[in-house]
Structure 1
């Protein structure tokens, strides 16, 4: 039998719909599409299962650090450059750093920080203006409502019956550090906002989280309960790697996949949906011959469809941080495992940037270990970024090779200028009188290679940080000495506040993304040469193939990307079912 023959063989599986990736979007698609008993649905996920009643404790934990740094749930060979691009032509070669992406059922929703916000209404009106017809705010709001069960707010902006609970940690449970930061924001002139997912206005708020009773609810937990899993027309294959898409002429007819036994098998389908995320979905397309023709030929890959936009215009939200030592009595008190309870949305007022173009999250604990419990961070990011020159490309045609990823953060100078202004503004709040006695020894923080090494979940790190934490709680002069020797890198905070060049050097060196990879297979009009998919996720130039994940965003939203990804999967599920009924 020829490898791309559509005729099923005795060992082939045949389905109406095959979903490549059981991540945030894949779990939603699996639930909604298998609700039609006439559709036989197969989900293939490279990572392990998270079955009801047996979800791994690090995933359930309200403190996310035990999941997103856990090699058990990650693509451990994936690296990316998050260097700041733009106006530094003489910059050294890009540094490759580990870029944590989930490899487990539930995907990013199983390991992320559980931050559950939608972005701004103007984001989706922009999607529509960019050629993604049918994706305006008025059109997507019903799907944001459909996915959620908001336990705190109701009304026309909220859903009450969805699979994902949305909650907040009340201020009465906050540690003294978070309460002091809220007072400092008020003193600085920011308004208190009760509902982050209500009207999109500036202010500080208790962050909305995909969490209930201090436990994470991933899309695998929320959408793939035991009753859904019992559907006879739904099959979940975990610990299974898709090695290639099968293309016959101009049609995708299925995939080859290697199971946990190491054997490669063929799975045929009327329709294949890539839901592998903004880094791996474009890699699947490129290896199948769908992408920039010149790049594909250079790698010896036969061109199926010349789509120059595949892997192009990758985006993330660039971020830097201010950190401080927390007084013992101001630390998290054990009432909740949650470390991040307070958020801030604000406007730069620079140029034509929209309202709420900047944001910050306040963590009253920065890592899983004892030193992390002593350090608070204010993570500042460009909420509405203009930089869209990142890329995903292949190193070679081997499915085992991770793609080459370059985010080219802040390549648009407007992002860098707004970040500098925001850093000064937020650092001044941390250094204000309101925070005296709550934090001390404030310093510019970076997620450097040294920090990554200490953050690894090892017994050695647990022992070493335990010893260091006891010393840091000792005399203040000793703490300052240890900070300078072991923790602070580069110029101190007072230098950055006074010296613009020093601040820019710090941001260029320290900025990272916030794991919001998106936009690498964008939706758009068919005559847009850089559009990869139609507004219903169909890949231009290839029949029987869609992409449904954050890669198809026409532009990154002004907020965390998890809820928008769920929303996209909800809406395209409806579009698929409606087309099949027509």
Structure 2
């Protein structure tokens, strides 16, 4: 263990923020705007200060970040779903460990969701979190470069744009036409037009460079504030509790243990780490905590429950030369489809698909289109369970995907619809050239940017440019388990086995410390974001979501942090 640093006079901050991810960056900016209020932001990963943002993070093309351990928590994994044979699937679950968190490594999608999502939050007990309540904070965070009017902001720290014609490469028009064959109309603004349709995806990016929460909220002027301290490479060991109050934090920094006193603590460590931090502090299900020998400070059985993610599948498609994107063209995602399953137990806008012209940064990825499909508003929920009081031990995360039969039924409908749209003249009419994609260990290793991988990927890519019969025979054997996608889609049992065996969570973990009414035993936070029963502990990240929105989670997380920060600034 590191030696404890001598502290003659313990450091004190009015607010200590635990976690420098998307929400933590918002909190640090907004709370330190009051020069009389001292703020400390701690982050386990490295910083991304102005002028020193790593090229891999700033790049418009994000997939190279999902290799190695530099920017993610190493070895973190999650259970996915029960397979058809009864076994439980599991896979790596990449979560940002870097200033900016998920916004520094994600695909930069800037999707708000629909008004019905937030009105449901209010119905579930999160008073003051309906659409009309949260819209001002969506407006506050953004600087929309394409869309105006009363639904959009022009002065926020996060630029939002779309790639629009006439600046489309051929794949963009082809994918949009393929999705439009569903009969749904083309629309411009997925954040302001709330019906189903085909959209150019919105993303947080300007001048073809990522704008993470760290870049947008922790700019040079904010960092220069004398009342704001940023501690990267600092790992939280525990909240120091005094009854129902957090007296401060104990951290490991520069090889030493350091204690910091706090007027209040705001936890913004994400839907897997935040409940773990609370449980190790004695906040959670009292019976489970006592079994681990953790003294119970506040009995809140909802901590760690209600874990939700969008059940997701990925597919690749061999692209003819005319649709391939030049490697110099960095942004590769051009079309999104929000649609409805129409199945029993489903609802409007319960499916979502995206189309990208590149499945990797290299020569192999250049030859393949990449498609994501997920189920919006999943009914299945899982849990985060503490297995040890050791702060270095990861919790057990069980996404429990597809537990509700309606989620499986909707994914079946989605696979069939997406497959029917992809096999077309505008993209590639040969059904044998569509196959399941997987972020396998080999694919992750190949994603590491290096000359060796570039040469290997180019050689593998060249093997695809052979006669179709040879290519499809190889794809069927090595990528589809000896069965083509057409055969999978046409057989109910095969389709179910494929979905259960391939489904994963799309890094949208949420809900494990949900907002709700103080008298709701499953709620963890009151509508201000304060932990129910505590005196000064707040949570402001994806774990606060009562239900998943019809969207990627990053922009909703920024909204949550903006709204809770506004309340804290007035307190």
| Match of residue 367 from structure 1 | 360
SS of 1:48's equivalent?
Answer: coil
| Match of residue 148 from structure 2 | 154
Say which is worse superposed, 482-491 or 420-429, in terms of deviation: 482-491
- Residue 199 of structure 1 deviates from its aligned partner by 1.9
**Structure 2: any 5+ residue segments left out of the alignment?**
1-5
Say which is worse superposed, 358-367 or 43-52, in terms of deviation: 358-367
Is 1:291 paired with 2:289? Answer: no
- Residue 460 of structure 1 deviates from its aligned partner by 4.8
1:305 pairs with one of 291, 298, 303: 298
| Match of residue 413 from structure 2 | 421
Pairs aligned (count):
566
Say which is worse superposed, 41-50 or 71-80, in terms of deviation: 71-80
SS of 2:336's equivalent?
Answer: strand
CA contact (8 A) 2:144 2:153 kept: yes
Say which is worse superposed, 352-361 or 553-562, in terms of deviation: 352-361
- Residue 542 of structure 1 deviates from its aligned partner by 1.9
| Match of residue 182 from structure 2 | 188
- Residue 334 of structure 1 deviates from its aligned partner by 4.3
CA contact (8 A) 2:476 2:482 kept: no
2:488 pairs with one of 478, 496, 502: 496
SS of 1:118's equivalent?
Answer: coil
- Tell me the distance in 2 between the aligned counterparts of 1:463 and 1:297: 55
- Tell me the distance in 2 between the aligned counterparts of 1:171 and 1:342: 12
Is 1:56 paired with 2:54? Answer: yes
SS of 1:407's equivalent?
Answer: strand
- Residue 165 of structure 1 deviates from its aligned partner by 0.2
| Match of residue 549 from structure 2 | 557
CA contact (8 A) 2:110 2:160 kept: yes
Q: Deviations over 1:433-465 (max 9, x none)?
A: 443469961123344455444445565543322
SS of 1:541's equivalent?
Answer: coil
Residues 439 and 151 of structure 1: CA distance in aligned 2, closer, same or farther (over 3 Å):
farther
Alignment of 1:376-395 (within 5 A): 376-388=369-381, 390-395=382-387
Q: Deviations over 1:301-331 (max 9, x none)?
A: 1111111111011000011123210112211
Q: Deviations over 1:465-490 (max 9, x none)?
A: 22111222233344234324544435
Is 1:197 paired with 2:195? Answer: no
CA contact (8 A) 1:371 1:468 kept: yes
- Tell me the distance in 2 between the aligned counterparts of 1:573 and 1:477: 59
TM-score (normalised: structure 1): 0.94
| Match of residue 226 from structure 2 | 232
SS of 2:248's equivalent?
Answer: strand
| Match of residue 280 from structure 1 | 273
Question: What value does the CA root-mean-square deviation take over the aligned residues?
Answer: 1.8
Q: Deviations over 1:537-575 (max 9, x none)?
A: 111122211111000101110110000000000011110
- Tell me the distance in 1 between the aligned counterparts of 2:154 and 2:162: 15
2:37 pairs with one of 33, 36, 39: 39
1:264 pairs with one of 238, 257, 261: 257
Is 1:530 paired with 2:534? Answer: no
1:114 pairs with one of 108, 119, 132: 108
| Match of residue 3 from structure 2 | none
- Residue 300 of structure 1 deviates from its aligned partner by 1.0
- Residue 182 of structure 1 deviates from its aligned partner by 1.2
- Tell me the distance in 1 between the aligned counterparts of 2:339 and 2:429: 26
Q: Deviations over 1:74-101 (max 9, x none)?
A: 101211111247xx6x612x23321000
- Residue 179 of structure 1 deviates from its aligned partner by 1.4
**Structure 1: any 5+ residue segments left out of the alignment?**
1-7
- Tell me the distance in 2 between the aligned counterparts of 1:517 and 1:418: 20
CA contact (8 A) 1:69 1:100 kept: no
- Tell me the distance in 1 between the aligned counterparts of 2:450 and 2:291: 42
TM-score (normalised: structure 2): 0.96
- Residue 71 of structure 1 deviates from its aligned partner by 2.0
Alignment of 1:215-254 (within 5 A): 215-254=209-248
Residues 289 and 490 of structure 1: CA distance in aligned 2, closer, same or farther (over 3 Å):
farther
Q: Deviations over 1:199-232 (max 9, x none)?
A: 2111111100000111000010000110100000
Alignment of 1:383-532 (within 5 A): 383-388=376-381, 390-436=382-428, 441-457=433-449, 460-489=452-481, 491-532=483-524
CA contact (8 A) 1:447 1:510 kept: no
Q: Deviations over 1:368-412 (max 9, x none)?
A: 232111111221100121112x11111211111111111001111
- Tell me the distance in 2 between the aligned counterparts of 1:157 and 1:525: 28
SS of 2:89's equivalent?
Answer: coil
- Residue 125 of structure 1 deviates from its aligned partner by 0.2
- Tell me the distance in 2 between the aligned counterparts of 1:95 and 1:453: 21
| Match of residue 172 from structure 2 | 178
Runs of 4+, deviation exceeding 4 Å: 437-440, 456-460
Is 1:576 paired with 2:568? Answer: yes
Say which is worse superposed, 332-341 or 472-481, in terms of deviation: 472-481
- Tell me the distance in 2 between the aligned counterparts of 1:84 and 1:458: 36
SS of 1:104's equivalent?
Answer: coil
